[in-house]
Amino acid sequence: MEKSTKSELLVAALENGTVIDHIPSDKVFSVVNLLGLNNIHKPITVGANLSSKKMGSKGIIKIADHYFTDSEVNKLSLIAPNIVLNTIKNYEVADKHTISMPDEIKGIVKCANPKCITNHEPMSTRFAVVDKVNGVLRCNYCNKEISIEEIKLL
């Protein structure tokens, strides 16, 4: 390995698995919950309040021997837009990309409209992402739009 910045050393410590980087420090445990990491029985390292040139302070999570599908990680875009996902194979970064908003979000998010059917029936919510840049969702049922700042997770 030629380059060796601090963060890459952290990454390099993993032989195979996933590194979720550039998590805002106050969202680290939301990421743990959203990905259901407490149900993954593999070595997991959680770091918070680490210094970052770009962000001032950041969190990082490393999960050994486990990979996520795009739809699993895309929901992280609901809590922070610039989270970076690294896939590690044989101590090397095999893939690295910033997660993006999916076109559709099923479950996870609660509709903000108290008169929406989803808040009264035992059913899952569904939203179309109508504006990926500003983070605007539209409920598939009541058609009300909610912005990412006012999102409540289920």
Partner 1 sequence: MINMEQSGKSLISLEELSKGEILELLRHASEFEKEPNRKILDGKVVATLFFEPSTRTRLSFETAVNRLGGRIIGFSDASTTSSTKGESLKDTIMMVSNYADLIIMRHYLEGAARYASEISPVPIINAGDGANQHPSQTMLDLYSIQKTQGRLDNLNIYLVGDLKFGRTVHSMLIAMRYFNPTFHFIAPNELKMPNIYKEFCKEHNMKFYEHSELSKEAIADADILYMTRVQKERFTDLMEYERVKDTFILRNDMLTDTKPNLRILHPLPRVNEIEQDIDTNPKAYYFQQAKNGLYVREALICNALNML
Interface region with partner 1, contact rule CB under 8 A, candidates 51-59, 84-92, 100-108, 134-142: 134-142
CB of 35 to Zn ion, least distance (A): 25
Cβ contacts of residue 144 below 8 Å, gap of 6+? 111, 112, 113, 116, 138
CB of 116 to Zn ion, least distance (A): 3
Please tell me whether residue 87 binds partner 1 under the rule CB under 8 A: no
Q: Which is nearer to partner 1, 74 or 125 (CB)?
A: 125
Alpha-carbon gap, residue 68 to 109, rounded angstroms = 20
Total of residues contacting partner 1 (CB under 8 A)? 16
The residue assigned the tokens 């996933």 is: 18
Residue 131, SS3 per DSSP: strand
Please tell me whether residue 37 binds partner 1 under the rule CB under 8 A: no
Please tell me whether residue 116 binds partner 1 under the rule CB under 8 A: yes
Q: Which is nearer to Zn ion, 68 or 141 (CB)?
A: 141
**In DSSP terms, which residues pair with 16 in a beta bridge?**
none
Please tell me whether residue 141 binds partner 1 under the rule CB under 8 A: yes
- Cα angle 76, 113, 122 (rounded to 5 degrees) comes to 75
Please tell me whether residue 33 binds partner 1 under the rule CB under 8 A: no
Q: How many Cα atoms sit within 13 Å of 65 on the Cβ side?
A: 4
CB of 70 to partner 1, least distance (A): 22
Q: Which is nearer to partner 1, 73 or 146 (CB)?
A: 146
Count CB atoms within 10 A of the CB of residue 65: 13
Residue 130 carries which side chain, given as an amino acid letter?
A: V
Residues engaged in binding Zn ion (CB under 5 A)? 111, 113, 116, 139, 141-142
